[in-house]
Amino acid sequence: MTLIEPLPDVGGPAQPLLDVKNLTKHFPVGGGFLAEKKTVRAVDDVSFSIAKGETVGIVGESGCGKSTTARLLMHLMPRNAGEILFDGELVGGTLSMREFRRGMQMVFQDSYASLNPRLTIEESIAFGPKVHGVADKEARALARELMGKVGLRPEVFANRYPHEVSGGQRQRVNIARALALKPRLVILDEAVSALDKSVEAQVLNLLTDLKREFGLTYLFISHDLNVVRYISDRVLVMYLGQVVEIGPVDEVWDGPAHPYTRALLAAMPALDPDRRTQEPPITGDPPNPIDPPPGCRFHTRCAFFEPVCAEACPPLSPVAGGAHAAACHMVVPGSGHSRAPNAGATP
């Protein structure tokens, strides 16, 4: 009898579970007869790491590259450049793709599209373990056990098909399926976004419980800033394929350094009838990620625009007095922006 064991901890607690370096994905578009060839810079030189047991959130608007980043991490599409290390091992190098897939699983936004409509819930959850060599009977037993863990009574749900259960229940099935291979890292790509609010809270509680029980690490992608603040330890704010701010979620929320992060936070509805939003924090739509603006990609919408912003792309730099970093000329010492700290000053 083969049972799935979680991948062993290789590097110890100090080694990040996931280390992403200079991840880049460009999609060519156009280039047909007489059409100009263009490039969508969906993900451009993104680097970050996720510590063991941590929950890292990614926020950003549509087209910012957050879902492409998730798909690249899962190796669901080839990348143009960059390195992905899982617990210190290069995926495809010392760590085989087969092992890696066990170590990292993903839950998608559309709970219906991500399940095979011809498989019952039990079959869907048991499918992965069977592919990895678990006998049918054991795989089914495991599926039933996991259904219990995600709050679905196996005797009621095991033989149902995806279309026979509600959206919240289907998302629980997807979570159970992701856990069936005993992963160490789970990517949740807008996993609660399509759920009704009363169901969303249930699933968030479930994710918290499962994280504790299985010792999981999460990468939580969402456009909902309230949910990201609630669930994440650290957060990445993305804009047009780049990370513009990264750091501990409370620090970023309480003292956002990038004008885009500030605008994003200010755009949240106030939830207080006496303190309605009076002015939109920024105007216009996010620009098209096809051929994004040169220099800082946010400069076309930024209230603090100065010529330097259109010339050079600001690197992620530590924010004075804090543990987070922002990619804005206003925090880069000696960048040439009038609000930047002096070059000699220590951050």
Partner 1 sequence: MNAPLVDIRDLTIRFTGERTVYAVNGVSLSLGEGEVLGLLGESGSGKSVTMRALMRLLPKKRTVISGSVSVAGQDVLAMDDATLSAFRGRTVSMIFQEPALALDPVYTIGQQIAESVKRHEGASDAAARARALEMLELVRIPSAKRRLDAYPHEMSGGMRQRAMIALALACKPKILLADEPTTALDATVQIQILLLLRELQREMGMSVIFVTHDIGVAIEICDKVAVMYAGQIVETGTLGEIVRTPQHPYPQGLLASTVHGARRGARLQTIPGTPPSLDAAPAACSFAPRCAHAQQRCTERLPPDVVLAPGRTVRCVLAEDSVAVS
Residues that bind partner 1 (CB under 8 A): 61-62, 166-169, 196-202, 204-205, 208, 223-227, 229-233, 249, 263-264, 267-273, 276-286, 288
The tokens for 226 are: 């309230």
- Residue 290: its H or E element: none
C-alpha to C-alpha distance for 109 and 106, rounded to whole angstroms: 10
> What single-letter amino acid sits at 203?
V
Give 233 or 306: the residue with its C-beta nearer to partner 1: 233
User: Would you give the distance in Å from CA 92 to the centre of its chain?
Assistant: 22
Q: How far is the CB of 344 from partner 1 (least distance, A)?
A: 36
Give 57 or 129: the residue with its C-beta nearer to partner 1: 57
Q: How far is the CB of 169 from partner 1 (least distance, A)?
A: 7
C-alpha to C-alpha distance for 106 and 142, rounded to whole angstroms: 19
Give 96 or 277: the residue with its C-beta nearer to partner 1: 277
Give 59 or 332: the residue with its C-beta nearer to partner 1: 59
Give 102 or 258: the residue with its C-beta nearer to partner 1: 258
Give 23 or 264: the residue with its C-beta nearer to partner 1: 264
The tokens for 63 are: 């087209």
User: Would you give the distance in Å from CA 33 to the centre of its chain?
Assistant: 37
Burial of 11 (0-12, 13-18, 19+ CB in 10 A): middle
- 121, 183 in Cβ contact below 8 A? no
Give 96 or 226: the residue with its C-beta nearer to partner 1: 226
Q: How far is the CB of 118 from partner 1 (least distance, A)?
A: 21
Residues with Cβ within 8 Å of 330's Cβ and at least 6 positions away in sequence, in order, are 257, 259, 304, 337, 339, 340
Q: How far is the CB of 240 from partner 1 (least distance, A)?
A: 12
Q: How far is the CB of 105 from partner 1 (least distance, A)?
A: 23
Q: How far is the CB of 167 from partner 1 (least distance, A)?
A: 8
Q: How far is the CB of 278 from partner 1 (least distance, A)?
A: 8
C-alpha to C-alpha distance for 145 and 176, rounded to whole angstroms: 9
C-alpha to C-alpha distance for 210 and 231, rounded to whole angstroms: 13
- Residue 25's alpha-carbon distances to 5, 42, 259, in angstroms, are 33, 6, 25
